Amino acid sequence: MAAVPHSQEQHTIDCIEACMDCAHFCNACADDMIGMPHEESEDLIVRCIRLCRDCADICLLAAQWMGRNSAFAIRVCALCAEICELCAGLCEQHAPHHAACGDCAKVCRHCAALCHQMVAETIPAASTGNA
């Protein structure tokens, strides 16, 4: 019986760590793109920088709210997963021109998967109306 809470607790810890890693990679990716030569479309670089920064912010928020067991953490995790997937998709497009985008996309996909799993595991408990 104690194994189920431990499993949920471990998954929360893993998700928090994935969010923190994703925020780190997204910030590093965006910072590396600033001032980069614009061999390809400047619009792609600008969108990628902005999305990486948004992704880093939502990942940090999700990690903080999960860490303090906020009643709204699961909603932030759902948004985090959505933004991570968008960021991964854009970084994958930019990866041929910027190696850091390839790494960023992988970390974003991993974070999205863990956040999706967190939402899937929590929704039945959240739908009872207990905060």
pLDDT of 95-117, one tens digit each? Answer: 888 889 999 999 999 999 999 99
* Contact call for residues 81 and 116 (beta carbons, < 8 A): yes
Confidence of residue 128 (pLDDT cuts 50, 70, 90): very low
Contact 126, 36 (CB under 8 A): no
Maximum CA extent, the chain: 58
The pLDDT of residue 88 is above 60: yes
Average of per-residue pLDDT across 6-17: 88
Average pLDDT value for residue range 3-13: 74
Domains of the chain: residue spans and CATH: 3-126 (1.20.1270.360)
As a whole number of angstroms, the distance between CA 37 and CA 45 comes to 10
